[in-house]
A and B are shown apart, each in its own frame.
Chain A
Amino acid sequence: MNRIDKKFAELKKPGRKALVTFITAGDYGLQNTKKLVLEFEARGADIIELGIPFSDPVADGPTIQVSSERALKRGTKLKDVISAVGELRNKTEIPIVLMGYYNPILKYGVNKFISDCARNGVDGAIIPDLPPEEAGELISASRKKDFATIFLLSPTSTPDRIKLISKNSRGFIYYVSLTGITGARSSLPAELSSRVRLIKRRSKLPVCVGFGVSSPGQVRQICRAADGAIVGSAIVREMERNSAKKRFIGNVGDYVQKLAEASH
């Protein structure tokens, strides 16, 4: 059983839901990324998503676009991100998944990516521009290493696609809350809960909801129906606000703690 499955099994007993945090790896430097991961765990985050920076993030809004640019400017490479997780594995067993666009992974080599990830303690990958139809190589390499392939579902997904994505996903299903790109929104679609329940009726996998989630209130709302809430842009914004401050890590941690309390 990999770390993600174990985590959801653990959460099941007290009836708790998962807080999944996203930051771009290498944003404000990989040293800070590692510190933030440990801080987030201490503050109650359940699963860590690390973004692989990319030059052309078509599914992302301005906040994550800019954070990706910052990380690239520092020269953050996929291999460095994977080794950073390897270093973190001396200190933490929190599930860590990478989220990134397909081209850097393709260039790295799909098989090498999976085996390097597995060896360094990365638990899975979310690749927003790689639907299962094009993911044959990645899926078969992942199965050999018990590496989670986390595919996405959206408000426009048909019942056939729910079936397809459920069949090919491991770890959890990433439900995109709205038709749109990442970025904080003041409100979430009204049909969100019913869509999540519909997916949960058709799949045994946990369902976590991301895109647009930006407040403890929204996390609470999501966690009524889903197995977890994913927060990205709002945390990145908190990093931007605190980037010049001495208590950078601690202040971002304060925010994550509020989100975690809402999910638990």
Chain B
Amino acid sequence: MKLPDRKGHFGVFGGKYVPETLMTALEELEGAYKAAKNDRKFSEQLRYYLEEYAGRPSNLYYAARLTKALKGPKIYLKREDLLHTGSHKINNTLGQGLLTVRMGKKRIIAETGAGQHGVATATVAALFGLDCEVFMGEEDVQRQSLNVFRMKLLGAKVNPVKSGSRTLKDAMNETMRDWVTNVRTTHYCIGSVAGPHPFPMMVRDFQSVIGTEAKRQILRAEGRLPDYLMACVGGGSNSMGLFYPFLHDRNVKFIGVEAAGKGLSTGMHAATLERGGIGVLHGSKSYLLQDEAGQIKIAHSISAGLDYPGVGPEHSFFKDTGRAKYFSATDGEALDAFRLLSETEGIIPALESSHAVAYLAKVSRKLKKSDLVVVCLSGRGDKDVDMVSRILSEKNEQDR
């Protein structure tokens, strides 16, 4: 059966848990998306922008030196970091941007954590002539100042969010509040496979271009399907995009890597699927980091893009059905992977993507040399260089 069902459910997960004011907008969006999906002109337009503007297809690159360094399976990197704006987020924002124009809405809003989705939304807003406002937790505004400046250059207004933990979760709250207020003129461009139906489905579909290409590319390169797909999971859009086209290829194992922050035992992490419980946040039912009273816990990760206490509902479904397995990597492990990939391949990865590389580094010796692994390199690390240099110099001071 094709999921989600008519009401947006993936098993017990998903759905539409939103204020009444948004229900009509969601129905309208669902209708517009369905019509667009069946419209050849829309797909052609989207493909045009993905190829000519964003630079698709992205390469599937055989990482020979990383493979050698890790002494394990043969590693391919899906190079979403090479896309325009520096991450996979553009795949989704181009789709939703075109849809916004199609619905006749003139304003687009977005939440952002690391700023990658904010930049991708601001970019598309500039491209299609839409007004754009981005909500970003105050803490993230500070740790991702480069992306804040990029968004402003692109003509977007960036609203620092001061409530709660001042990170992605609160940015999403604030974007929802704006949407409830301006729903008649505004499209909320959710950046992950999260939120109320139809977002998890729609964002998955837009991101599936990652996996569709990867499948074609690995077959061409190796003549067979990979044994493992690995990707980091915050809300889970790059991983879902990579996984989904392989859904029925039962021998292809899906591995999602969450942020273990300072360590799972410290409580300061963002490992929603590994450590969370089922709940409702931001419009859908999914795993959540919450306390025994159902209050949402604050997530922690060195990577702003993974610093989120929820996860897309289809990932929760994959976890419960066993279709995907979820593990985690700590801040320290991600930093090591950040350097490892920089040094072995000359590729500076985003801290988010570094988590996937970090997990692979941890387990590579347990895998067979004949195994084939595709890792989604969801974004590039330019935005993180500043912070990493600060952390590394602090560490050097301490070591001295």
Contact = CB atoms under 8 A, between A and B. Distances in A.
Interface of A: 54-59, 61, 65, 72, 77-78, 101-108, 128-131, 133-134, 151-158, 161, 165, 176, 179-181
Given A56-B281, A65-B163, A179 B23 contact: no
Interface in B256-305: 277-283, 285, 288, 290, 292-296
Interface in B155-192: 163-164, 169-170, 173, 176-177, 180-184
B25 interface: yes
A181 B20 CA distance: 11
Given A102-B280, A107-B279, A180-B181, A156 B21 contact: yes
B346 interface: no
Contact of B16 (A54, A55, A131): A131
Given A103-B280, A129-B280, A156-B24, A55 B296 contact: yes
A59 B180 contact: yes
B164 A55 contact: yes
A61 B177 CA distance: 8
B176 A58 contact: yes
B200 to A, nearest CB: 15
B293 A156 contact: no
For the complex of A and B, the 4 pairs showing the least CB-CB separation, nearest first, are: A107-B294, A104-B294, A154-B21, A180-B181
Contact of A103 (B15, B19, B25, B290): B290
Contacts of B180: 58-59, 179-181
Nearest to B176: A58
B29 to A, nearest CB: 13
B17 interface: yes
Nearest to B295: A55
The interface centre, meaning the residue of A58, A131, A180, A181 with most chain B CB atoms within 10 A of its CB, is A58
B18 interface: yes
Interface residues of B, number: 39
20 contacts: A55-B164, A58-B176, A58-B282, A59-B177, A59-B180, A78-B293, A101-B280, A102-B280, A104-B293, A106-B280, A128-B20, A129-B18, A130-B17, A131-B23, A151-B20, A152-B19, A154-B19, A179-B182, A179-B184, A180-B180
A181 B24 CA distance: 16
Contacts of B292: 107
A128 B25 CA distance: 16
Given A58-B180, A134-B15, A176-B21, 15 more contacts: A56-B169, A58-B282, A59-B180, A105-B294, A106-B278, A107-B279, A107-B294, A108-B294, A129-B17, A131-B18, A156-B20, A157-B23, A158-B24, A161-B24, A180-B180
Interface string B1-32: 00000010000000111111111110000000
Chain A interface helix/strand/loop/mixed: loop
Contacts of B7: 133
A56 B181 contact: no
Contacts of A58: 19, 173, 176-177, 180, 282
A108 B25 CA distance: 30
A211 B325 CA distance: 44
A103 B279 contact: yes
B104 to A, nearest CB: 16
A56 B177 CA distance: 11
Nearest to A80: B293
A130 B18 CA distance: 6
Contacts of A151: 20
A129 B19 contact: yes
Contacts of A128: 19-20
Contacts of B283: 129
B199 to A, nearest CB: 15
Contacts of B293: 77-78, 104, 107-108
Nearest to B21: A154
B112 to A, nearest CB: 17
B246 to A, nearest CB: 31
Contacts of A157: 20, 23-24
B290 A107 contact: yes
Contacts of B15: 133-134
Contact of A54 (B19, B25, B288, B295): B295
Nearest to B277: A107
B16 A56 contact: no
B161 to A, nearest CB: 11
A112 to B, nearest CB: 13
A104 B19 contact: no
Contacts of B285: 134
Given A58-B176, A107-B294, A134-B15, A153 B182 contact: no
A157 B182 CA distance: 15
A130 B19 CA distance: 7
A58 B293 CA distance: 18
Given A133-B7, A180-B180, A154 B280 contact: no
B349 to A, nearest CB: 31
Contacts of B23: 131, 156-157, 161
Contact of A179 (B164, B183, B277, B281): B183
